[in-house]
C-alpha cells in the first residue's frame, strides 16, 4: 500500500473573510483556487508545515487556530487536512509570492464566486460550519 502524504491547507481567516489563492502552476491546476499550504515534510508537524508554507508562499506571519475535522483525498498519494489560521499581530498582508498569481478575501456569501479546485470543494464546504466561518458574520 502506498503511504499517504499529507498536504496542509490553511483557512486563513481575517475579519470574517477567508483567503483564497489562485494557482499559477502546474498547468493542470493553474487558474483554479485553493487553500494556501503544501506538503508536510518528513518529521515535520503539520502545524509547523502550515506556518512555514504561509511564510514562503504569502510572506505572512500566521498561526494555526483549529483543525477542521475531516480529510479529503487529492491526487494519490496526497490527502488534504485543513486548519483555520490567523495572521499574527504585525504580520505583513499576504502577497502571491510563490505558486499563486492572485489572492482574494472572500466573505461566506461570496465563497463560491471563485472556481475552487474540484478536490477542494468538500473542504471549503466544511468551513461553513457555524463555529468556523459563520455565514453572515
Ligand atoms: N497547497 C494546496 N495544495 C493542494 C490543494 N488542493 C490540491 O489538490 N493540492 C495539491 C496541489 C499539489 O499537487 C499538492 C500540494 O502541492 P504544493 O505545491 O502546494 O506543495 P509544496 O509547496 O510543498 O510543493 P513543492 O513544490 O515543494 O513540491 O496538493 C490545496 O487546497 N492547497
3-class secondary structure, 97: coil
Pocket test residue of 72, 74, 94 for ligand 1, highest count of atoms within 8 A of CB: 74
Return the CATH number at 119. 3.90.79.10
Tell me the three state secondary structure of residue 135. Answer: coil
Asked if the structure places residue 19 within a domain, the reply is yes
pTM (2 d.p.): 0.94
Evaluate whether residue 110 is within a structural domain.
Answer: yes
For residues 79 and 88, give the distance between their C-alpha atoms in angstroms, rounded to a whole number.
27
Does residue 130 register a pLDDT over 80? no
Average pLDDT over residues 12-19: 96
pLDDT at 135: 65
Q: Is residue 49 part of a domain?
A: yes
Name the residue among 74, 89, 65, 68 with its Cα closest to residue 38.
74
Residue 2 has pLDDT above 60, yes or no: yes
Euclidean distance between CA atoms 44 and 22, whole angstroms: 26
137 domain residue, yes or no: no
Q: Within a domain: residue 114?
A: yes
Q: What is the mean pLDDT of residues 94-120?
A: 97
Cα separation of 125 and 111, whole Å? 9
Structure-model confidence comparison of residues 48 and 136, the more confident one: 48
Q: Is 119 helix (H, G, I), strand (E, B) or coil?
A: helix
Atom 8 of ligand 1, nearest CA residue: 74
Cβ atoms of 38 and 57 within 8 Å: the answer is yes
Give domain status of residue 132, yes or no: no
Position 137 pLDDT exceeds 50: no
Residue 130, in any domain of the structure: no
Q: Please tell me the total count of domains within the chain.
A: 1
Question: Residue 135 falls within a domain, yes or no?
Answer: no
For residue 136, pLDDT over 50 is answered with no
Q: Once rounded to an integer, what is the mean pLDDT over residues 106-130? A: 95
Contact between residue 96 and residue 21 where contact means Cβ atoms under 8 Å apart: yes
Residue 57 belongs to domain spanning: 5-123
Residue appearing with cell numbers 483549529: 66
Amino acid at each position: 500500500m502506498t503511504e499517504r502524504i499529507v498536504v496542509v491547507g490553511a483557512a486563513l481567516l481575517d475579519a470574517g473573510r477567508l483567503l483564497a489563492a489562485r494557482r499559477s502552476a502546474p498547468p493542470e491546476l493553474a487558474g483554479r483556487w485553493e487553500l494556501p499550504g503544501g506538503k508536510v515534510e518528513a518529521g515535520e508537524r503539520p502545524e509547523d508545515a502550515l506556518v512555514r508554507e504561509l511564510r514562503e508562499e504569502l510572506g505572512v506571519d500566521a498561526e494555526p487556530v483549529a483543525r477542521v475535522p475531516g480529510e479529503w483525498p487529492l491526487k494519490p498519494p496526497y490527502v488534504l487536512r485543513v486548519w483555520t489560521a490567523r495572521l499574527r499581530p504585525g504580520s505583513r498582508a499576504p502577497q502571491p509570492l510563490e505558486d499563486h498569481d492572485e489572492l482574494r478575501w472572500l466573505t461566506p456569501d461570496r465563497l463560491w464566486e471563485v472556481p475552487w479546485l474540484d478536490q477542494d470543494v468538500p473542504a471549503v464546504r466544511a468551513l461553513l460550519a457555524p463555529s468556523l466561518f459563520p455565514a453572515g458574520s
